[in-house]
Amino acid sequence: AQSVSQHNHHVILSEAASLELGCNYSYGGTVNLFWYVQYPGQHLQLLLKYFSGDPLVKGIKGFEAEFIKSKFSFNLRKPSVQWSDTAEYFCAVNAQGNNRLAFGKGNQVVVIP
Amino acid sequence: ETGVTQSPTHLIKTRGQQVTLRCSSQSGHNTVSWYQQALGQGPQFIFQYYREEENGRGNFPPRFSGLQFPNYSSELNVNALELDDSALYLCASSPPFQNTEAFFGQGTRLTVV
């Protein structure tokens, strides 16, 4: 079974600061990788996904993530955050061909105006 | 909005009771998965339904059961409710091909007292 680790559960930063959230997974086979975001009071939304190809993936709202296979990592980055990026961010993984997602515990990000 | 709708949005039940949660999947999606999100945790996979059959189950006891109907909508049933069942229950639907994202509903907040 897959497992996902996210560190620094609570992150507080000022607008215009850069954001990087770490994600490591454990699974021996080929995986699909996702970052989902949950804004206050809203449903989980997909930020970006990686299935294959270029390991640097660009998503919505200026977010990007890099898949490093040798490190089993899929870290999320945004060069300059806005107050509206305040949300909880979840890294998730599934085995290719299998839609069952394993999620990390999430990162609660608060951006101070 | 994802097109995945769940009902009810909130529910309070007493320990030992039974509960049924409902999910309408997005049009064209034939796979529905259910997740439990406890406070401060990431979603955990309960089970998945594909073409009205259970297609995988996470580490949840048999008192968690489900159904999928011909229109691909789904129900999650929990018997003999325990206090630890208090959580946000998320439904996600996926289109009928591999290596795709899941689309989440807003969830049902279940409180067991």
- Taking only the tens place, the pLDDT of each residue in A51-105 is 999 999 999 999 999 999 999 999 999 999 999 999 999 999 998 877 789 999 9
Q: Are B106 and B6 in contact (CB under 8 A)?
A: yes
With an 8 Å Cβ cutoff, are A90 and B43 in contact? yes
Nearest CA in chain B to A44: B104
Chain B residues whose CB is inside 8 A of the A99 CB are: 31, 33, 48, 94, 98, 100, 102
Per-residue pLDDT tens, chain B, 113 aa: give them: 668 999 999 999 999 999 999 999 988 888 999 999 999 899 999 999 998 999 899 999 999 999 999 999 999 999 999 999 999 999 999 987 767 889 999 999 999 99
Looking at residue B101, what is its pLDDT? Answer: 87
Chain A residues whose CB is inside 8 A of the B41 CB are: 105-106
Looking at residue A60, what is its pLDDT? Answer: 94
Q: Which residue, among B39, B56, B104, B41, has the nearest Cα to A4 in the 3D structure? A: B41
Contact of B3 with chain A, judged by CB distance below 8 Å, is answered with no
Maximum C-alpha span of chain B: 40
Eight-class DSSP state of A98: -
